[in-house]
Amino acid sequence: MEKSEVRPNIVTYNTLISGYRKKGNLEESTLLFEGREKKGVTPNNVTYNALIDAYCHMEAKGVRADIVTYNTLINGNRKKENFEDAKRLFVEMEKCRVRPNTITFNVLIDIYCKKGKTAEAHKLIGHMEVKGEKDRVRPNIVTYNVLIDGYCKKQKMEEAHKLRDRMEAMRNIPEAYRCTTHTW
C-alpha cells in the first residue's frame, strides 16, 4: 500500500486492529496501534474501542484488564480533557465486568465538575452510596472535596455548605472547603 504512495489512514488501522482483535491476536493489535503513531495517524474512538475490546478479551490468554488498567485509562483521558472517552471507558469497564471503585468515581466526578455539571457529579455520589452497600464503593474525603470545589467554582455556595455539613455529620474533614472558601 505504501509503496504505491497510498498512505494508510485511521480507517485502515482500525480495520486491521479489529481484525487481529477478532482473531485473538492482542500483540499484533498493539503493534499496529503503536505503528500508527509512528506514521502520524491520529487514533479515534473506534481505535480505542477496538483496543479496549481486545484487552477485555485477554482472559483467553490468562490476562485480564483490571481496575488499575481502567482507572489509568480514564484518568489519562481526564487529564487530556477527553471527557467523552473517559465516560465511554467507564461503560466499557462495566461491560467487561470490572467493578468501579472509589477512585473511578472520583475521577468521573472531577470530570463532571470540570464541565460545570455539578448536578451529575452529585448524582454519582448517590450512585456510589447505593452501590457501596453491595460493592463496598463509598465516597471518601476526596470525593466530597472534588464536588465542594466544583460547587465553589460555579458559585453554588449553598450546595457547598450543605455538602460540607453532610461531611461533618459523617465525621469527614472538608479540606477543599477550607482551602476554597477561605479566599472570599
Tens of pLDDT, residue by residue over 154-181, are 999 999 999 988 888 876 544 544 444 4
111-130 pLDDT, tens per residue?
999 999 999 999 998 888 77
Task: Return the pLDDT at 60.
Answer: 65
8 A C-beta contact, residue 21 and residue 29: yes
- Residue ranges covered by each domain of the chain: 1-64, 101-184
For residue 69, count other CB atoms closer than 10 A to its CB: 18
Q: What is the Cα 49 distance to its own chain's centre?
A: 13
Q: What is the Cα 159 distance to its own chain's centre?
A: 25
Which pTM value belongs to this model?
0.66
**Where residue 4 falls among pLDDT bands split at 50, 70, 90?**
low
Q: Give the DSSP H/E element, type plus range, for residue 103.
A: helix 102-114
